[in-house]
Structure 1
Amino acid sequence: MSLIRNVEGSELRAFLLAEMAHTVALQAAFLQRFGKKNRPTGENQFEFYREKVQDIFDTYADYDGFMDYEVTGEFEADMTDYLATEGENLIASRNFAAAFELGQASYEVLHEIDIDDSNGVMLTILTYITELWEEVMEFATAKDIEPFFIWATQRLNNKEDFFTEDLIAVLTNLGEEKLEFAPRIVKFADEKMQQIEAGGEFAYTFVLWLEIKLKFAANEKEREKVYQKYWDSPNVRNFKADILWEKGKLSEVEKLLQENLVIDQAAPYWLSEWHELLKILYLQMQDIPKYEGELWALLLVHNKGSESIFLEMKNHFGAEKWPAVKEKIYQKLADSNEIEKLFALEADWRLLLDHTKQTGNFELVLRHAEEIKAAFPKELIQIFTEVIRAEAKTADTRPKYQQIAQKLQKLKKITGGIVAASLLKEELLQKYPRRSAMKDELRRV
């Protein structure tokens, strides 16, 4: 502290200006502490936040207003720093309406900017915004929330995009947090469902609005009306199963899930879901024969070759029974490509090698080369050689040549592989003399 006291005012200001130029969190903290008199309020506050977020974007955008993916990580860091610092300050000062507007302004600008989002930073930032809104809801009054509710419903009426689902989830959370909003959210959900049905399309958001109607139904009688009207929807039946489960009515859950198996017999995704729920249900009921039946049904049919189900079976049957159970699984899935993942899980490398020779799919063998090479060096050398030759035949870009070179490096590490790699390298250089990029990459091996 004595060091700061000894610094001249002009030097300290110059230092702060330099630091704030690239530290968004420091800018926000400085504004919160010293800029209150100049900070806009009311309608101007929303525009203030829009301009601030736009400024952060402009820092990393090029002259045409486009942001390359290489700088999106820094953009994400600055945005989350700003949202965290400003949001915390607004919540601490109980300025909840402004905290909502901070998120709203940020949300709008992020939907307008031109960005290469290959790194997925937009989802991270928008998730941060929804979390800010949900945190504010815990403390805000209905009066504070009202402008946000109007904005959110207008936004959902006018535009649907990749992040619509998150905004609907925020409204759902609002209905749970502030019960006075629940009837209005249900009314809005009704309107959206009518719009979708009138358009003759089953929009992906229809199910989300339908779940809101079920969640916030005034009573069980109203909820039952929704069940009856939309019983064809698996989501509706899934919702009812959850409600019955929460109430401990397990026999009714079982009856409903069995009914679902008949209704959705032509829908593989839902058949898998229902069998998964029956598996969990029977385990909870300690009906072990039925639980084991669902394990087998999932592994062999509805979630064929699932690694998680395979491991669950291993844990359930125990060390004594497992060898016989595993052998039965291998026999049942003998003609399936999914079995290769299970061989790898059990480190049954001999079986994996034999199966891949039949299928010609060596991906798993190459992935587990380090574990296989000590026991089966000759087989592994042969597989690497075949794969490299096949890849070289069609390779036409430097990245593909680099992949071939990487495989040659792995081949060298196998017992007897140094000679095999050297001979194969020379073979490729002679066979493809005009591929200069390939020569460059292979000579580095």
Structure 2
Amino acid sequence: MKWEHLFPEKILDRGHAYYADELVEDLDVSATVIQANVIGKDLYYVQIKHTDGVIGAMYCECPYALENQHCKHMAAVLYEFDEGNDLNHVESTHMTEDIFHLVARADDTLLRGFLTAILSENSELLGRFKGELGVPLSESDVQRYKLEINDIFAEYEDRHGFIGYYQARELSMDLTDYLGRHVHLLINTRQVSEAFEVVNHTFRELHNLAIDDSGGEIVTILNHCVRHWQEIISRADEAQKVDMFDWFIQQLDGHVIDYMEEYLEAVVFDHFKEKAFLKKKEQLVDKKLHQLFRTERIAYDTDKWLLRKIELLEQQNVQQSEIDDYCKQYLHFNGVKDYYVERCLERKDFQTAVEVLEESKVRNGDLPGIVARDSVKLKDLYKQTGNHSAYLQELWYLALNHHAGNVEIFNELKRQYTVEEWEKQREVLFEQLPTYAPIHRLYHVEQLYDRLLAFVQSSSSIMLLEYEHVLKDKYPEALLEKYESIVQAMAEETANRKNYQQIVKLLRKMKPYPDGEKRVAALKTKWQQQYKNRPAMMEELNRL
């Protein structure tokens, strides 16, 4: 079966590499369909139709193929198909036997010469052969991997060195596939330091890349790097771990882009848990904090590094009292404050937790999100400690401010009163609610349907659609009139077909109402006269 002409040469090369690496699984061949799964960045299903030896439609789940391209996964499946369906229709088991007999017929000199020639031509096979023999890779071998990675980057760059949106997607797929194959091979053949160097080279090249990665390609590749680092570290011996740790620390000297630096930090602090590394990590943290305080960069970074410091103190089994003293210096950082409050709660030091949260509310008065979280914690603490008056006060504060219109807080407040008391307190709350609060939610839960109807009548079509199921049986005429006013206003505006389609959808919703059919028919007749010069509108009305 001839099919190679259907693919660009570079796609054929990559497809053959997948086939050679035995990444094609579950091959199934029928009279008209070839299908299989291919292991790549994900597991991709491939289906290829054929008739009388001619390839027809081909399908693969990968992003490249979904853009109507013939991909390397399709080529890999066809290579796998050809292995079991060569010109003589030799079954693979027979082929294996033939190979065995061929090798048996060759003398030692011929085998060595042939193997030498093959390995000289194929660097990937050379790496696999060295791994099988347990021979360490040479510096030139590692350099070859780096050059191949550079070639992948270069392939997708334009003449200005920029990688565009569509090229970025292909780059991400090819690079992660390459790393997956070669890094795992290196790890499995005990070439851990070499695998580490290959991943590090990829990371450094990413740092200098000019690319449109609006599809998240850089993050995808970085996540793959992290996963490879994690596996490499888990397989490294003590001396190798020391070298790896030192490399990460060197990268965290401030010259790496902030968002990329976070990936390095995650590896350093999530791994290297041995005692020998803890002090070095603490030195790194102290250095970062010194830089941050010196530049007055009081932001997320500071909070993050303070929490890393506290985590390291815990890992080194420092006395909790010493950790508490450290926390007290930095309670104006919300991450530290939250940590300290949680520790207070764990040891049932409720009074200290309350004091810290109350101070935080005052200090962060211009930061409503933080104040809201502190207030919720205070509410729960007051309830837990039996301070009912403070608990009720905090509930009211939340119901009228940061959680105004929140049904859960509203219902919690309601439970503090008798039925008679609540009718009065509810009206007080309604009067004091800020104008931005979604009061309609509260009308709904309280079953104040007359007020809910009034709110819907004064609001947009969105509110009508949200509460129609609640109000339709009670106020059908009022809702029908609201629908009519909405579609009338929409029809008065000259618009596109999408708007006219929306009008027709609303007209259909009107028809089941009492007298709805008649009202819709009247509107349709009126508009067909009034707006007869709007052909798109007329077409949509005719579909009603």
- Could you tell me which residue of structure 2 aligns to residue 216 of structure 1? 312
Equivalent residue in structure 1 for 2:365, among 252, 257, 265 = 265
Whether 2:375 is the aligned partner of 1:275: answer yes
In the superposition, the TM-score normalised over structure 2's length comes to: 0.58
> Could you tell me whether the CA contact under 8 Å between 1:388 and 1:404 is conserved in 2?
no
- Could you tell me which residue of structure 1 aligns to residue 278 of structure 2? 182
- Could you tell me which residue of structure 2 aligns to residue 332 of structure 1? 429
Whether 2:69 is the aligned partner of 1:66: answer no
Whether 2:129 is the aligned partner of 1:37: answer yes
Shift in CA distance, 444/50, structure 1 to aligned 2, threshold 3 Å: farther
The letter for the 2-side match of 1:190 is D
CA distance in 1, matches of 2:140, 2:445: 60
CA distance in 1, matches of 2:337, 2:155: 48
Shift in CA distance, 15/170, structure 1 to aligned 2, threshold 3 Å: closer
The letter for the 2-side match of 1:302 is H
Shift in CA distance, 160/339, structure 1 to aligned 2, threshold 3 Å: farther
CA distance in 1, matches of 2:192, 2:419: 58
In the superposition, the TM-score normalised over structure 1's length comes to: 0.68
- Could you tell me which residue of structure 2 aligns to residue 303 of structure 1? 403
Equivalent residue in structure 2 for 1:364, among 463, 466, 469 = 463
CA distance in 2, matches of 1:20, 1:212: 41
> Could you tell me whether the CA contact under 8 Å between 1:68 and 1:116 is conserved in 2?
no
Structure 1: segments with no counterpart, 5+ residues: 1-12
Whether 2:398 is the aligned partner of 1:382: answer no
- Could you tell me which residue of structure 2 aligns to residue 16 of structure 1? 19
- Could you tell me which residue of structure 1 aligns to residue 268 of structure 2? 171
Compare 38-47 and 250-259 and name the one that shifted more: 38-47
Whether 2:335 is the aligned partner of 1:239: answer no
Alpha-carbon distance, 1:284 to partner: 5.0
* Alpha-carbon displacement from aligned partner over 1:164-211 (angstroms, at most 9, x marks no partner): 545444433236x34433333332233333434444543542321222
Alpha-carbon distance, 1:278 to partner: 2.0
Compare 35-44 and 191-200 and name the one that shifted more: 35-44
CA distance in 1, matches of 2:302, 2:508: 57
More strand by share: 2
- Could you tell me which residue of structure 1 aligns to residue 62 of structure 2? none
Alpha-carbon distance, 1:409 to partner: 1.3
Rg comparison, structure with higher value: 2
CA distance in 2, matches of 1:339, 1:157: 50
> Could you tell me whether the CA contact under 8 Å between 1:32 and 1:89 is conserved in 2?
no
Partner SS for 1:158: coil
Alpha-carbon distance, 1:294 to partner: 3.6
Shift in CA distance, 19/123, structure 1 to aligned 2, threshold 3 Å: same
- Structure 1 vs Structure 2: percent identity of aligned residues? 22
Alpha-carbon distance, 1:47 to partner: 7.6
Alpha-carbon distance, 1:274 to partner: 1.1
> Could you tell me whether the CA contact under 8 Å between 2:152 and 2:171 is conserved in 1?
no
CA distance in 2, matches of 1:98, 1:380: 72
More helix by share: 1
Partner SS for 1:302: coil
Partner SS for 2:128: coil
Structure 2: segments with no counterpart, 5+ residues: 1-15, 25-37, 44-71, 81-122, 132-136
Alpha-carbon distance, 1:332 to partner: 0.9
> Could you tell me whether the CA contact under 8 Å between 1:343 and 1:351 is conserved in 2?
yes
> Could you tell me whether the CA contact under 8 Å between 1:23 and 1:78 is conserved in 2?
no
> Could you tell me whether the CA contact under 8 Å between 2:145 and 2:198 is conserved in 1?
no
Whether 2:501 is the aligned partner of 1:405: answer yes
> Could you tell me whether the CA contact under 8 Å between 1:265 and 1:271 is conserved in 2?
yes
Shift in CA distance, 138/200, structure 1 to aligned 2, threshold 3 Å: same
Alpha-carbon distance, 1:283 to partner: 5.2
Shift in CA distance, 347/141, structure 1 to aligned 2, threshold 3 Å: farther
> Could you tell me whether the CA contact under 8 Å between 2:183 and 2:228 is conserved in 1?
yes
Matched length: 423
Q: CA RMSD in A?
A: 5.3
Partner SS for 1:353: helix
- Could you tell me which residue of structure 2 aligns to residue 8 of structure 1? none
Partner SS for 2:404: coil
Shift in CA distance, 277/430, structure 1 to aligned 2, threshold 3 Å: farther
- Could you tell me which residue of structure 1 aligns to residue 211 of structure 2? 114
Compare 231-240 and 323-332 and name the one that shifted more: 323-332
Whether 2:251 is the aligned partner of 1:154: answer yes
The letter for the 1-side match of 2:465 is L
CA distance in 1, matches of 2:239, 2:141: 19
Higher relative contact order (CA 8 A, sep 6+): 1
Alpha-carbon distance, 1:412 to partner: 0.9
- Could you tell me which residue of structure 2 aligns to residue 5 of structure 1? none
> Could you tell me whether the CA contact under 8 Å between 2:400 and 2:429 is conserved in 1?
yes
Partner SS for 1:352: helix
> Could you tell me whether the CA contact under 8 Å between 2:354 and 2:381 is conserved in 1?
yes
* Alpha-carbon displacement from aligned partner over 1:129-175 (angstroms, at most 9, x marks no partner): 54665566566555444435534652561133445545444433236
* Alpha-carbon displacement from aligned partner over 1:282-316 (angstroms, at most 9, x marks no partner): 455566665555444323223222345446x28x9
- Could you tell me which residue of structure 2 aligns to residue 4 of structure 1? none
Partner SS for 1:36: helix
- Could you tell me which residue of structure 2 aligns to residue 251 of structure 1? 351
Alpha-carbon distance, 1:117 to partner: 3.1
Whether 2:452 is the aligned partner of 1:352: answer yes
> Could you tell me whether the CA contact under 8 Å between 1:49 and 1:102 is conserved in 2?
yes
